Amino acid sequence: MAERPEALGAPVRGAGYTLFLLFLANFLNVADRALLGIVVDPVKADLALSDTQMSIVSGTAFVLFNLLVGIFIARWVDHGHRKRILILGIALWSGATALTGLATGFWTLGLTRVLVGVGEATAFPVAISMISDLFSPARRPRSISIFQASTFVGLVVGSILAGVLAAAHGWRAMFVICGLSGFLLVALMMASMREPERVREPAGEAAQEGNLLRAIGHLVRLPGFVALSLGMAFAGMAVSVLPTWAPAFLLRSHGVPLAAVGALIGPAVGLGGITGTIAAGMLASHLVRKRGADVHGLLVPMIAIPLAAPFYLVFISAQSLTLAMSSAAVMNFLLSSAVGPCIAVAVGIAPTRMRAVSSTLMLLALGIIGGAVAPLVVGWVSDVLAPQYQNDSLRYALATMAPTPLVAGALIWLASARIRARAPSLP
C-alpha cells in the first residue's frame, strides 16, 4: 500500500513539535553520557582505577550493552508504542545516572553505566522511526541532522555543567543532580507527546519481516548497507574518543583546570558538530531534491570526512591551546557530516518495518567500532606508553585514530557505488 500523502510531501501535523521533543531526549541522552568523561581523573583517583578500567566502564561496557540490547529494543520499536518505550528509557537512564553518584568501585560504577546504556538504547531507534513517519524522503536528511545536532548541544551543555557542578559540589553530587533532572522531560512527554501514525508498508514487505535474525540478515544483504554502516562507524572513531579522553587530555597535556575543562571542550567541539551536522543535512536534502535519489546525499560526507584527518592531527599535536581547540572545532564540523545523510539513505533502502532495526544496526557498528573499541584502544595505548611519556602518553595514544577519517571516506564511496549499481535507473 502506498505511503500517506503527507509522508510524500509536507510533514505530518505536529511533526515539528515531536522533533523538538526527540531533540530534547537525545540532548539529555548525550549530556548524561558525557558526564563521566569530564570527571575521569577525579573518579579514577577516588575509586583507584586505571585508564584501562575507566575506558571499560565509560566506553566498552556502556556501548556494548547499549547497542546489543538496542537491537532488541529496535525490533520492539518497529512494532510497539514508541512514546511509551522512550519514556521508559528516559526514566531508566536518568535514575541510573543519579545512582552513579553512589558508586564505590569498578563494579558498581560499571553497573550504573550499563543501566544508563540500556536506557539510552531507546532514544535513537524511537527517534529515527518517528522521523521516518513524520517527514518525506527529501526532508529526512535535514530532519535527522537537526535531531543529531542535539548530540553536540548535549555535549556542550553537559560538559559545561559537569565541570562546574563537579568543581563546586564534587562529582558524586553532579551525577545525582543531572540524573534527577531527566524526570522533568519524562513528565513533559507524558503530558504532550503524541504517538505518530505509522506509514503502512507497501504490499509484500510484511512477508519479508520474519523474526529479528531474518530482518538483520535481509538488511546486511542489501547492496551498500554494510559498507555504509562501517563508513559511519569509522567516521565516528575520532569523535567518539573525545567525550572520554579529550577532557583528560586537556588536563594532562595543557594543564587546564577541572572547572574550565567543560567550558573549553564543550563549545569548541560541540559548536563545530552542531553547525556541521545541520549544514550537512541541509546540503544533503538539497542534493536529494535536485537529483532525485537519497544516495546523492552521500556526496557530502564522502568529501567532508577525509578532510578532517589533518585537523585531528593538529588538535593532538599543537602546543597552543587556542590552535588545538580551533582545529577540534573544524574537525568536528567535518566529521559530523556522516550521520544525517548515512542514516537517511539506510532507512530509505530498508523495508518500512525494518527502519528502526536498520538505523540501530548502523548505530551498533558506530558504537562498537567508535564508542567501544576506539576509547579502549586509546586507554590501553596510554597505559602502555605512560612509563616513558608520563602525561603525554595520552597525546600519542590519541594519534592512533588519525587515519580513520580516510578509511571512512573510502567506505562511504564504496557504499554509494554499490547502491547505485543496484539501481542503474537512478538519476
Nearest-angstrom CA–CA distance, 41 and 398: 17
Q: What is the 3-state secondary structure (H, E, C) of 332-396?
A: HHHHCCCHHHHHHHHHHHCCHHHHHHHHHHHHHHHHHHHHHHHHHHHHHHHHHHHHHHHHHHHHH
Q: Which helix (H) or strand (E) holds 242?
A: helix 237-253
Secondary structure E strands in 44-157: none
| Residue type for position 234 | F
Where residue 5 falls among pLDDT bands split at 50, 70, 90? Answer: very low
Q: 15: phi > 0 → left, psi -120 to 50 → alpha, else beta; which?
A: alpha
Q: What is the pLDDT of residues 187-197, one digit of tens each?
A: 999 999 988 88
**Mean pLDDT, the chain, integer:** 83
Inside any domain, residue 204: no
Domain that holds residue 341: 13-194+210-422
Q: What total of structural domains would you count in the chain?
A: 1
- pLDDT at position 207 is 44
Q: Say whether 412 sits in a helix, a strand or coil.
A: helix
The answer to whether position 6 is within a domain reads no
Which amino acid type is present at position 342? C
Question: Would you say residue 199 lies in a domain?
Answer: no
User: What is the domain-level CATH number for residue 304?
Assistant: 1.20.1250.20
Higher pLDDT, 314 or 161: 314
pLDDT value, residue 176: 93
Is 1 contained in some domain? no
Q: What is the pLDDT of residues 278-314, one digit of tens each?
A: 888 889 888 888 877 778 889 999 999 999 999 999 9
- Global pTM reads 0.69
Is the pLDDT at 407 greater than 90? The verdict is yes
